[in-house]
């Protein structure tokens, strides 16, 4: 199959590497001026992996899109709408897209598949989410992930295209729950990092128990299956997000509390704003998300917020 990956950061470069490894003909696109792409073009490597010479690199998005049997998008979630408008202006149609990114549109709270369908009609879309770190996959440590779409035949097509002994895929049956769960786990990851930064890591057990509970209520309010939160897109990704040294969201939260800089993308920072919008729209209390939002965006005292969240009030479990 001809597979194109649009986005050349940590995850995009891995997806190109992985697609090549399992036998596909791969093109990797990065925008002009991207320092990620500039390094790949000059060295064919980044901080995580080395790309084989069989992978084509290009700055021309239509070179990547034309002739592709499946197109993976792996960019900053907040850039998705403007990027899709660019593809629409180029007349892209009748293609299979996979969104390999986790987040919600910050201003609207919309899921990424909703943004896709609003901006790029005439194409089919699925999401690919779940646990796993590039650093583990390139060491041949396998994991399980999920592909989900409202288009069930597309889900099955994509699982057949991308399955391998390294990644076992499950068919996602609840797109709403899958997307909300995948996006929200990054916010829980921020909270885990905040606990680490305060040296209160033992509270992660309470964080996991309460995090799944509050997100299940939101998923149900949005029309999804509240049990999806206990699957691979959310709870199944907690180890990789709440505990791993490789987790950007956990590390961002830890560094934030310790007043240390962190220069890598942490999608949870924008996602928590979107979740607070959804909390207001659907009248669903999201206390963990609210605490994280207060700490990061309103500069509230982390210790006070965490004490208020976990230790002060008595509630029924």
The active-site residue, picked from 95, 110, 185, 204, is 185
CA 10 – CA 282 distance, rounded (Å): 34
CA 159 – CA 213 distance, rounded (Å): 29
Catalytic annotation on 185?
yes
* Ramachandran region, residue 25 (left: φ > 0; alpha: ψ -120 to 50; beta: rest): beta
Measuring CA to CA, how many Å separate 23 from each of 34, 58, 140? Answer: 27, 20, 16
> Would you give the end-to-end CA distance of the chain in angstroms?
50
Residues 6+ apart with CB under 8 A from 292: 187, 190, 191, 194, 253, 268, 272
CA 304 – CA 73 distance, rounded (Å): 39
DSSP string, 73-90: E-S-GGGHHHHHHHHHHT
Three-class secondary structure of residue 127 per DSSP: strand
Measuring CA to CA, how many Å separate 274 from each of 171, 213, 286? Answer: 26, 18, 12
CA 213 – CA 216 distance, rounded (Å): 5
**Contact between residue 75 and residue 7 where contact means Cβ atoms under 8 Å apart:** yes
Backbone φ and ψ of 5, nearest 5°: -115, 120
Three-class secondary structure of residue 102 per DSSP: coil
The residue among 173, 171, 267, 275 whose CA lies nearest residue 222 is 275
Residues marked active site are found at 185
């Amino acid at each position: 199959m001809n597979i194109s990956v649009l986005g050349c950061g940590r995850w995009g470069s891995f997806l190109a590497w992985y697609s090549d490894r399992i036998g596909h003909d791969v093109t990797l696109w990065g925008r002009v001026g991207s320092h990620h792409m500039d390094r790949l073009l000059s060295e064919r490597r980044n901080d995580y992996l080395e790309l084989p010479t069989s992978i084509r690199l290009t700055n021309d998005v239509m070179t990547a899109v034309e002739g592709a049997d499946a197109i993976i998008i792996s960019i900053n979630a907040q850039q998705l709408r403007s990027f899709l408008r660019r593809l629409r202006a180029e007349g892209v149609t009748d293609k299979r897209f996979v969104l390999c990114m986790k987040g919600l549109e910050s201003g609207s709270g919309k899921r990424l598949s909703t943004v896709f369908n609003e901006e790029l009609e005439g194409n089919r879309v699925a999401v690919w989410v779940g646990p796993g770190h590039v650093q583990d996959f390139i060491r041949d440590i396998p994991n399980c992930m999920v592909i989900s779409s409202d288009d069930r035949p597309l889900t099955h097509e994509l699982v057949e295209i991308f399955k391998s002994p390294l990644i076992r895929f499950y068919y996602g049956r609840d797109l709403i729950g899958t997307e909300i769960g995948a996006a929200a786990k990054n916010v829980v990851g921020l909270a885990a990092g905040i606990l680490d930064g305060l040296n209160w890591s033992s509270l992660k057990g309470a964080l996991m128990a309460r995090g799944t509970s509050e997100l299940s209520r939101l998923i149900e309010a949005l029309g999804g299956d509240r049990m999806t939160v206990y699957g691979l897109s959310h709870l199944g990704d907690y180890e990789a997000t709440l505990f791993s040294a490789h987790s950007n969201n956990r590390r961002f939260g830890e560094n934030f509390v310790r007043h240390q800089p962190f220069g890598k993308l942490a999608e949870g920072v924008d996602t928590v704003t979107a979740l607070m919008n959804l909390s207001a729209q659907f009248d669903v209390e999201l206390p963990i998300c609210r605490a994280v939002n207060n700490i990061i965006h309103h500069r509230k005292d982390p210790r006070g917020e965490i004490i208020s969240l976990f230790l002060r009030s008595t509630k029924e479990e």
